[in-house]
Structure 1
Amino acid sequence: MDAAVERHRSELVARERSGHTAVVDENLLYVWGGYMSVADEEVFLPNDEIWVYDLERGVWEVFHMTGDVPPSMSGTCGCSLNGHMYIFGGCDDNGQTNQIYCVDLTDGKYMWRKIMHKLGSAPSPRDKLSCWVYNGRIIYFGGYGHKLLTDIDSRNRSFIVDEASWVEDVFWGWNNEVHIFDPMESSWNEPQIQGRAPAPRAAHSSATIGCKGYICGGRVMETRTSDTHCLDFESWTWSEIIPVSPIPMGRSWHTLTAVSDSTLFLFGGLSVDCKPMSDGWLLDVDTKNWREVEHPYRDKPRLWHTACPGKDSDVIVFGGSCDYILLVDTGHCNDALVFQMQPYPLFRICEDYIAKNVRKYEMLRNQLPLLPPKLLTAVRRRMSFYRPSKEQKH
């Protein structure tokens, strides 16, 4: 292993946080940034460390990061592409940014690289935006940020000014812009969009299914919505999904995750009356039907958390707040909640059963060495997840 990398094993648990970035790659959950509350202050998490959670073993590790380390931030937009984690935008001590960084997650060095684009123009500074990954490119949508008065086009209503926030000729507000970043070309461009675009918003959620990107809800000026829209990446056409069933309550700071070729999972968020939420919903994008689902975490409301697709259609929710984050000393979280969205394959059922019960039944212990080497290795890794001394909560 590279000597520059510091790794700490033991009973580590990632720090509580909200507004962080998280991605899953090769059954590992990577967590960076965000903020937490200390006494009466909001404190950004260290920018030179990345936390890695092994979803099979249930073990956290923390690594030191080097290179062009980004400033400590919250509200960045993160994604995983070709073994790299990309972050764009966010809010640091100086306000919103429009810089893009990436880090290789596969070489064990965790060295940040600031990307200087060669073509096109970067979007204006913003945070609380979302993105989709399609055809090797990253497509960004929306967010809250600032622009110069000369950059605001009042004709197309792509940027709505926040009347409570402006300084001289600098205006803050919400946007519904679509920007494409091509990592291979280090280029930005704006596609010609057809159809009726969603209202400008921030703190919404997004997910990708095939060649289509979906957004749901978010803060639209002074309201929180639950409307759902689809952007076709082949025709660059917006369309609104008009549901044929009862819909979730309007919300912001929630998550949306693809769990099948036609299904999206919505979880948590902050309601229209500023209540933290713990409800889960499935949207069938073909039938346009919403359905509320039962899950084991109804007592764990979350907002400004992250949700990543995992193995066998699992959804991995990490961190976030269990209280209204504009209150002082709010309750940030650091537990990983695993939502099972589909029946598990027989192999995983057997692997989990053996790993969970091998210490309980002597027959299983005696027969464990008889397993094929590959299966034995997998079971032993999984046994770590169920070890009795473990204090982490799942």
Structure 2
Amino acid sequence: MASQTDVINGICHHSQPDPLAVPVAVGNPISRSRCPSENSAPGPSQEIGLDIINSLPDEILELLLSHLSPYRDYKNAMLVCKRWHRIIQGVRVQELERFHLGVQEGHLRWHIMQTKTSPTVTDRYSHCACYHRKLLYVFGGCASTCTTFNDLWCLNLSRGEWIRPLTSGVYPSPTACATLVSHNDQLILFGGWCHPTPNTFYQSSKVFNQLHSFDTITNKWSRILCPVMPQGKAGHGATVLHDMMIVFGGYHGQTSCSNQIWVYHIVESNWTKMEIEGAKPVPRYGHTQVLLGDSAILIVGGFGGPNKQLNDMWLLNIGNEAWSWHRIDVINIQNAAPQLWCHPGCLVGDKIVVVSKNLRITRAAIQSQKEAKPPVPRTVWIPPKEDAAAPQHDHRLCGYKAHAKRAYPETSESSSQESSSDNDDVGGAGAGMMASLPRSPRMVALQKSVGRSLAQGKLSMERVDRDGTSGSRPGMPSVRPNAMRNRQKQLETLKYYESKLKQTMNNKEKAAAANEEDLCSCIQPHARQNPMYVHVLDVSRVVRDRKATWLQTHDQIDSCTPEETIFHSLVQGRGELIMFGGVQMDLSSMQKGLHSTPKQVSNIVHFIRPKRSVRS
């Protein structure tokens, strides 16, 4: 019997040679074979291998061909014979159905593209990406050094290599948060935002309304100028329907955003602003915008400004009649993906996939850790109880009545001696508070100073209580400057320690909250603090019933699962999702004012593929 290498050699001999094609998926033992050249004659082993393949049942041959690359090898295999052409068509349908079923049931697996020695794209986030004719195009974005790009890269999904096309024409400005869509053989780029430099004297932030098109055949950029242009936008949504590019929302700068709809007619090359009556979504940017069928656009989430994270959904009905907005009822909101404004979504069949961390699983794990961990006792200052020597309320002394332990002479000499003594044994609540504080040398000196002030104030009140006179007004407390100054010192001291106590309690609360966030590091495997989960939104009933359902999130954590990443791109390829770039950052920790690790900008390509029931 011929080996697997001979079988593949027979396949490649009867197909058209393609130097860019990858025969089979990585991990299959038959992937080590190479196709012979076009002029080489088939050997005896190749003829025997081809006869053996033709004698296999359709089920076995279908299983073998399902391991081919869907980007280039399907086309080559369909040219072998009519039987292979028929089987490959069935394999395409089955692989697509398996991908949709994996998204619905959560049977997905993360993969990382193996980098090669060829030139690679720079780390970036807030870029725009588009899948067009078996290539992934990436434009612009920001770097961690306050730099904005205007370069164009394409990822050859057959070879797993990055290619920077040699382009010409009028280049776009460096932009981030722009939109890139495909129409026929053109890529249309609109809007964007330029990152400011650390020194705004050289470059400040700017929002663009530039419109460019890129010809994928000639690799040429063209600037499109129209008499009527919309306002500069960033973080908006763009969808191509027939010969129209429909743009909704966007950031205009200075914390302002829009809920307007602009339509760019690609053939006529002009803009039209659509006016819609009735209820409409609030202004936003950073939302997900997908096309449902040929007559509806769904808007999911977004950001409406400071402290305005949105998770609502609106349906834009596009028909022959007037356009209209409809609010969508969201079911199972507890399963929704958090922070939809910085995690883009991608439409897969009748499902929208959003990749982000799972707050529900994280909170449940933190709660279980808190229940298993015994409570830590806290040291809290308790004020002392009042005793007989403590001042009590009395209207004659502005709210206090003194109780003397012994009689004091009325001479000023004895008063000055008593007030200048370093006696710390001063009764009352003030003395109890001072005794409960730490006994550092600096604190001891401060306690003595406060004790002298309390003793002097106590002496003055005892004299008033005994004589009932003070100066020329009987029955009133002393209003001498010395007594008022001592009382002011007492109030200032009490306010000082009150503020110190509040500050200490606030620091303890922040430390406890930070410990809760750190518990995530021991919850997930592979030392993942905030792993990303695949959240699925079912939109099959949106057009008919105006309802969308968040499905239950499944655990897909493995060795290739990335950490929480925001401002990445997510597009659909052939039977897989492609995630590129982004910045690893946990926004929830930043919003709570807790400690977070420095942001790490990425240029890694992740693939989300369905799990196979039969291991290759």
Q: How does the TM-score come out when normalised to structure 1?
A: 0.70
Alignment match, 1:95 = 206
Structure 1: 4+ residue segments shifted above 6 A: 325-329
Check whether the contact 1:276–1:302 (CA below 8 A) recurs between aligned residues: no
Alignment match, 2:603 = 334
Secondary structure of 1:35's counterpart equals: coil
- Aligned pairs for 1:74-93 within 5 A: 74-92=176-194, 93=203
> Of the candidates 139, 142, 167, which is equivalent to residue 249 of structure 2?
142
Alignment match, 1:384 = none
Deviation of 1:299 (Å): 3.5
- Aligned pairs for 1:281-300 within 5 A: 281-287=535-541, 288-291=548-551, 292-296=553-557, 298-300=561-563
CA distance in 1, matches of 2:241, 2:182: 11
Deviation of 1:175 (Å): 0.9
- Aligned pairs for 1:309-388 within 5 A: 309-312=572-575, 314-323=576-585, 330-340=599-609
Check whether the contact 1:225–1:249 (CA below 8 A) recurs between aligned residues: no
> Of the candidates 214, 217, 225, which is equivalent to residue 310 of structure 2?
225
Alignment match, 2:280 = 197
CA distance in 2, matches of 1:278, 1:52: 25
Secondary structure of 2:310's counterpart equals: strand
Check whether the contact 2:337–2:356 (CA below 8 A) recurs between aligned residues: no
Alignment match, 1:242 = 329
> Of the candidates 18, 29, 32, which is equivalent to residue 125 of structure 2?
18
Letter in 1 for 2:238: C
CA distance in 2, matches of 1:276, 1:215: 27
Deviation of 1:249 (Å): 4.6
Check whether the contact 2:356–2:535 (CA below 8 A) recurs between aligned residues: no
Alignment match, 2:144 = 37
Distance 1:229 1:12, change over 3 A: same
CA distance in 2, matches of 1:236, 1:294: 40
> Of the candidates 79, 82, 104, which is equivalent to residue 215 of structure 2?
104
Check whether the contact 2:358–2:533 (CA below 8 A) recurs between aligned residues: no
CA distance in 1, matches of 2:240, 2:534: 24
Secondary structure of 1:340's counterpart equals: strand
Check whether the contact 2:246–2:264 (CA below 8 A) recurs between aligned residues: yes
CA distance in 2, matches of 1:233, 1:200: 20
Check whether the contact 1:276–1:322 (CA below 8 A) recurs between aligned residues: no
How many equivalent pairs are there? 303
> Of the candidates 212, 216, 233, which is equivalent to residue 300 of structure 2?
216
CA distance in 1, matches of 2:161, 2:263: 36
| Percent identity of equivalent pairs | 22
Distance 1:103 1:295, change over 3 A: farther
Distance 1:59 1:227, change over 3 A: same
Distance 1:299 1:336, change over 3 A: closer
Deviation per CA, 1:358-388, whole angstroms, max 9, x where unpaired? xxxxxxxxxxxxxxxxxxxxxxxxxxxxxxx
CA distance in 1, matches of 2:293, 2:259: 22
Alignment match, 2:225 = 116
Deviation per CA, 1:19-39, whole angstroms, max 9, x where unpaired? 11111111110111111013x
Deviation of 1:82 (Å): 1.1
Deviation of 1:298 (Å): 4.4
Letter in 2 for 1:209: L
Deviation per CA, 1:98-127, whole angstroms, max 9, x where unpaired? 11101012x1x4211000125xx2111121
Which residues of structure 1 form unaligned runs of 5+? 1-8, 147-164, 166-171, 354-394
Corresponding position: 1:128 with 2:388: no
Structure with bigger strand share is 1
Deviation of 1:18 (Å): 0.6
Letter in 1 for 2:223: K
Check whether the contact 2:278–2:324 (CA below 8 A) recurs between aligned residues: yes
Check whether the contact 1:145–1:173 (CA below 8 A) recurs between aligned residues: yes
Deviation of 1:259 (Å): 0.3
Alignment match, 1:67 = 169
RMSD between aligned alpha carbons? 3.0
Distance 1:51 1:187, change over 3 A: same
Deviation per CA, 1:313-355, whole angstroms, max 9, x where unpaired? x2211111111589996211111111226x78x9xx99xx5xx
Alignment match, 1:268 = 356
Deviation of 1:310 (Å): 1.0
Letter in 2 for 1:338: F
Alignment match, 1:256 = 345
Letter in 1 for 2:336: P
Check whether the contact 1:265–1:280 (CA below 8 A) recurs between aligned residues: yes
Deviation per CA, 1:43-68, whole angstroms, max 9, x where unpaired? 112x2x32111122211112232211
Letter in 2 for 1:282: V
Check whether the contact 2:571–2:579 (CA below 8 A) recurs between aligned residues: yes
Structure with bigger helix share is 2
Letter in 2 for 1:12: P
Check whether the contact 1:205–1:253 (CA below 8 A) recurs between aligned residues: no
Check whether the contact 1:295–1:339 (CA below 8 A) recurs between aligned residues: no
CA distance in 2, matches of 1:19, 1:269: 18
Deviation per CA, 1:288-309, whole angstroms, max 9, x where unpaired? 2111244456433221111112
Deviation of 1:265 (Å): 1.1
CA distance in 2, matches of 1:31, 1:270: 27
Secondary structure of 1:126's counterpart equals: coil
Distance 1:270 1:12, change over 3 A: farther
CA distance in 2, matches of 1:257, 1:249: 13
Letter in 1 for 2:261: V
CA distance in 2, matches of 1:335, 1:112: 27
Deviation per CA, 1:221-244, whole angstroms, max 9, x where unpaired? 222122122212225221122122
Which residues of structure 2 form unaligned runs of 5+? 1-115, 195-202, 360-528, 542-547, 591-595
CA distance in 2, matches of 1:270, 1:132: 28
Distance 1:134 1:194, change over 3 A: farther
| Bigger Rg, structure 1 or 2 | 2
Deviation of 1:270 (Å): 12
Secondary structure of 1:37's counterpart equals: coil
Alignment match, 2:290 = 207
CA distance in 2, matches of 1:131, 1:30: 16
Distance 1:195 1:310, change over 3 A: farther
Check whether the contact 1:308–1:316 (CA below 8 A) recurs between aligned residues: yes
Deviation per CA, 1:67-122, whole angstroms, max 9, x where unpaired? 110111111121111121111111125500111101012x1x4211000125xx21
Secondary structure of 2:314's counterpart equals: strand
